[in-house]
Structures are given as C-alpha cells and as structure tokens.
Amino acid sequence: MNFPATRMRRLRRTPALRSLVRETHLYPGALVYPLFLCPGEGVRREVASMPGVFNLSIDEALKEAESCAALGLGGLLLFGLPAHKDDLATGAYSENGIVQQGLRALKSSRSLDTLVLIADVCLCEYTSHGHCGVVTRSASPASPAPGEAWRIENDATLPLLARTAVSLAQAGADIVAPSDMMDGRVEAIRAALDAAACENTPILSYASKFASAFYGPFREAASSAPQFGDRRSYQMDGANLREAMREIDLDIAEGADMILMKPALPYLDVIRAARERFDVPLGAYQVSGEYAMLQAAFQRGWLDPERAMLESLTSIRRAGADFIVTYFAKDAARTLA
Ligand code: PBG
C-alpha cells in the first residue's frame, strides 16, 4: 500500500500519538552516574573539561549519592584519586584505599540502597606511570624485547587486578567492572572472588573498549594520563568490529556476567552488533569526551542542551544498550521527571 493510502505522518500528529508508538524508552533506572572520589573533606573540585562533574571527597560524594538516589538513578560507577601513586598501584587494592573507604561509607546509608554500586577495576589511576598494567623498562632484569623501551606486562598485572576486585567487593561493591583490557583478567578476577567467598559478586566487563581520543577529559578528572606512550597495545583499534566480538566472546567464556561497551556514540554499530549476538545484560559508556563535546556546544549556544542530551542517550539505547553510564545521568533524570 502506497501513498495516499499510507501516510506515515498520521502517527506523528500529536504528542500523545507519538508517545504511544515510541519504540525506545529512556528512564532514570537505566542510567549510571560516575563519581570521582578524592581524599579530604568538603572537597568539590570541578573538572575543567567536564562542566558539572566534580572530584568529590567522601562526605561530598555521600550528598551527591543522595541526590542520585532521589532522582531514581540505577547506580553509581566509582573511580578513585589516591593520595599517593606508585609503580604497583598499591592504592588500588589497599584496605583503606579511597574507593574502599567510599564504598563503606555509601553502604552504611540505608537511603542509598536503591543504587547499585559499581567499582571500576583498573590500575591507571593508582600507578605513577598512568598505565593500566605493570610496566617493565629495558633496564630491568625482565627486559622487554629489543627495540622496546618499556612494556605493559599482561600476566604480571592479573594478580593485582584480582586483588583489587576482591578488595572492592569486600568493601561493599555490588559489581566489579574491570576496564584495563589485559587478556585473561575476567578469569583471574572470577577465581579470586570465588576463593574469597565473593562468589555472588557479578563482573561487568568492559569487554569492548577502544583506544579512544574521547577519554581525554576523564584522564584529567582521574589524573590517569599515561606518562609515556599510549594505551594502543592493550585497548582495541577503533577500526575493528569483529575483534570486539571476539573480546566479548572471550570475556563471557571467562565468566563475565554483563558487558560494557565503550565509547558509545562513535561506536553505535559495535553496540548493535553485540546486542544481536550476545544475550548478557549490555551497558554502554557515554565517555568523558562525548560529554565534553556536547557541553562545549551547549556553552556556545550551538545546541539545545536538553534535546541533544536526550537524543544522544536515546540513540545509545536504540542501538541496544540496556543501561548507560553517563555524566548526564542526573540532568537526564531531571529532564525525564
Ligand atoms: C580506566 C578507565 C578510563 C575510562 C574508564 N575507565 C580511562 C582510560 O582507559 O584511559 C574512561 C571513561 C571516560 O572517558 O569517561 N582505564
């Protein structure tokens, strides 16, 4: 049946009709808000390239979490800025690490029970060199191959990641989320969690994580920029969709309960492909650069903030994400209310 019998505009005539036939829905419970915990008291330091995003001391983070719970958000993703960094990232797995302290504080408040607390598992915020794994340099005995001045050691990193995950689970994390992209980390983390009687702690694996320019503002927020080199030997090449499917396959085989895709908007095709192929819960991370880019346009008055924000989030849901990690979580929940 063609025109004039078929008129697509009939169902677009009123807001009520459009609402009735809408295929994709956004709701606060599907949004996760990242928090950057830092030492101190009363600290609320805005990240220059991320307007509205702050480094928060734990007392301030508690207030922020209260407002997230009141808005009906699904959860929080916790990152830490340790007081001190070293080559083995001890701050990531120390019992009194910044995120461990934050988790205990957040868990002690009943009013925050509706929020799922997700702890990012990575070493880059805690290493002096800013890489996500253990680094060996050519001067050291376990020397990297000729021609390499340094190397990110995959297998030596796994026990540290596993230790970090256990420490975070014991401090109260509802979910641990490895974001480092070392091979075999999900298996190592699952085994360590089970051995520590944390067999009920799920793993949300950043299974498909591309080496992206869009992480720039995050590295300012978490002061985790690599001091030399880049992350291309462990994060994926942005040109590769099939490789992303293999990464996800492996992580699920190793025991990932859920997967996280990252970045989101520049990789919607990868999200869609993963959605069609895998039946595990799937999240997407609208990363710092995606947020910064939109905020920059809002500041110039070049885009309508509410509409552009909701449209970008709806697109990520339409591509297949069950939930979205986004710096817009609170603003979006307010707009949707
Ligand atoms: C840690 C990590 C990063 C992000 C999440 N976890 C940074 C990176 O890989 O360099 C980026 C999040 C964002 O850009 O919002 N490895």
SS (H, E, C) 289-336: HHHHHHHHHHHCCCCCHHHHHHHHHHHHHHHCCCEEEECCHHHHHHHH
> Do the Cβ atoms of 259 and 322 come closer than 8 Å?
no
pLDDT of residue 14: 98
Ligand 1 contacts CB of residue 167 (under 6 A): no
Alpha-carbon dihedral 185, 188, 190, 192, rounded to 10 degrees:
-140
Residues 6+ apart with CB under 8 A from 267: 208, 210, 238, 261
Give SS3 for 285.
strand
Ligand 1 contacts CB of residue 212 (under 6 A): no
Distance 39 CA to ligand 1 centre (A): 20
Ligand 1 contacts CB of residue 164 (under 6 A): no
pLDDT of residue 146: 64
CATH superfamily, region 25-336: Aldolase class I (3.20.20.70)
Ligand 1 contacts CB of residue 328 (under 6 A): no
pLDDT of residue 242: 98
Q: Are strands 31-37 and 50-56 parallel, antiparallel or unpaired?
A: parallel
> Do the Cβ atoms of 62 and 105 come closer than 8 Å?
yes
Q: Structure tokens of 144? A: 């990297």
Distance 222 CA to ligand 1 centre (A): 9
Does residue 63 carry a catalytic annotation?
Answer: no
* pTM over the 0.85 mark: yes
Ligand 1 contacts CB of residue 36 (under 6 A): no
> Do the Cβ atoms of 269 and 241 come closer than 8 Å?
yes
Residues in the chain: 337
Ligand 1 contacts CB of residue 120 (under 6 A): yes
Identity of the residue numbered 13: R
Residue ranges of the chain with per-residue pLDDT less than 50: none
Ligand 1 atom nearest 132 alpha carbon: 16
pLDDT of residue 140: 57
**Given 63, 107, 209, 330, which residue is catalytic?**
209
267: how many CB neighbours lie within 10 A of its CB? Answer: 25
**Given 63, 85, 107, 262, which residue is catalytic?**
262
Distance 267 CA to ligand 1 centre (A): 15
Q: What residue's CA is closest to ligand 1, atom 7? A: 215
Does residue 262 carry a catalytic annotation?
Answer: yes
Largest pairwise CA distance in the chain: 78
pLDDT of residue 141: 57
> Do the Cβ atoms of 332 and 285 come closer than 8 Å?
no
Distance 3 CA to ligand 1 centre (A): 50
E strands in 57-115? 75-80
Distance 1 CA to ligand 1 centre (A): 50
Condensed to tens digits (0 to 9), the pLDDT of residues 250-284 reads 999 999 999 999 999 999 999 999 999 999 999 99
Sketch the domain layout of the chain as residue ranges: 25-336
